[in-house]
Structures are given as C-alpha cells and as structure tokens.
Amino acid sequence: MVVFDLDGTLIDSAADIHAAVNHVLTENGLPPLPLTAVRSFIGEGTRVLMQRVIAAVGGDPALLEQWHASFLAEYERNPAVRTTVFPGVREALGQLRGRGARLGLCTNKPARATGLLLEALDLAVFEQVTAGDTLAERKPSPLPVLHTIDLLGGGEAVFIGDSEIDARAAQAGEIPFGIFTGGYAREDLDMFPSRFRFSDWSELPALVDPAASPA
C-alpha cells in the first residue's frame, strides 16, 4: 500500500493558496504577499499558514480565527483555478492501482477543501483520506499517516511526501519514506532517512515495487 501527501507532492497548489491569502489581505486593507513567501508557509495546515501570514504582515494574532475562516471560504470557492497536477502523477497512480496497490492520502489540508480539490482535479482515486481535521494531531505527528495505513488494512506501506514535515512524520512512525524532490521542502531532506527519492513521477511505480518493473 502507498500513502501520499497532497500539496507539493501530487499537486502544485501554491498559486490558489496564494490567491486566497491575498484575498484576505486585500479585504483587510493590506498589501499582498509574494508567491514565494506564501509557498514557504505551506505544509502544516491552513491555521498555521494563516498564523504565518499574520506574522509576515505584522497583523494582530487575535485576528487568526477571522482570517482563517475568510481564507477557507475563499479557497473553497476557488480550489483549483491555478492548481496543477504534477506531470506523470495520474499515470503513476493508475499503474499502482492496476498492480493492486491500495492507495491512501494523508494531508494537513482540511477535509472539505481536500474533497473539493480532489473532485475538481479528478484525483478522487484514494481508498482512504486522512485530512488535517480528521484527528486531533496533524503531520509531523506520525499518527495521521499510521491512521491512514490502518484504514487501508495495515501492514507494509510506503509514505510519499515532499517536505520535512512529511519526513518527520515518517521517521517518527518508522514508516518507509519516498521523497518527491520537486515540492515545497524548506529544509535539506538529506538529513532524513528515506527508501528512495525521485523527481520524475514515471519513476515511482518501479521504485515502490521493483519486482514489477520491466526487465
């Protein structure tokens, strides 16, 4: 079985997240943040994202709940305007499913936004989805990943992610980890144990199951 992170792993969602963040800032009479800044805030859930936005613009921390709600409302209205699926993702997922692999998703994004995004991108192919509000803990806690594996039936699994948040979750849960190197990592992932790393999604099926790769 294979469990995937979402943002920065399967999809490049930074542009739509950036647009929703700047919508909130504009509503509050503040200048927009650059895409590079917002991209660096992604990974630990939408509440932490907005905490970082407030800190970046020197806003009042007491506004967090209001700003977070405004962000979610705007993001859920437009979850996939600019978001793209990384090249080769659909084919890799199809190959894995064709070989009988059970697929799960473990994201820190809230469940409603996750569902809307998967439907909009035609990526609703996962047997189990653990979102950022499914459990009391989010990644880098290993519990959401382990929970997803349990829902898939338990046993041997590999977790595919792109960031230090995913790497820490895998390490803490002693879960084999595969690194997609084209995502949103802010730290050097060489410091974390991994079973493999890849930059091209066409490589993934053979990395997950070398015995099934062509001779």
HEC-encoded secondary structure of 39-105:
HHHCCCCHHHHHHHHHHHHCCCHHHHHHHHHHHHHHHHHCCCCCCEECCCHHHHHHHHHHCCCCEEE
- CATH code at 2-12+84-212: 3.40.50.1000
Q: Is 166 a catalytic residue?
A: no
> Is 7 marked within a binding site?
yes
How much is the pLDDT for 215?
A: 37
Within a 10 A sphere around the Cβ of 171, how many other Cβ atoms? 17
Q: Which member of 5, 12, 16, 166 is catalytic?
A: 5
- pLDDT surpasses 90 at 4: yes
- Is 133 flagged in the annotation as binding? no
- pLDDT at 159 exceeding the cut of 80: yes
Domain residue spans of the chain: 2-12+84-212, 14-77
Strand order in the sheet with 103-106: 128-130, 103-106, 2-4, 158-161, 177-180, 196-198
Q: What confidence tens digit (pLDDT) does each residue in 117-135 have?
A: 999 999 999 999 999 999 9
Partners of 60 in beta bridges: none
Report CA dihedral (184, 190, 193, 197) to the nearest 10 degrees. Answer: 60
Identical fold for domains 2-12+84-212 and 14-77, yes or no, is: no
Mean pLDDT of the chain: 96
Residue 134 CA to residue 145 CA, distance in Å, equals 11
Assessment of whether the complete model's pTM goes beyond 0.75: yes
Does the domain at residues 14-77 carry the CATH identifier 1.10.150.240? yes
* Rounded distance between C-alpha atoms, residue 179 and residue 195, angstroms: 8
Is 60 flagged in the annotation as binding? Answer: no
210 pLDDT tier (thresholds 50, 70, 90): low
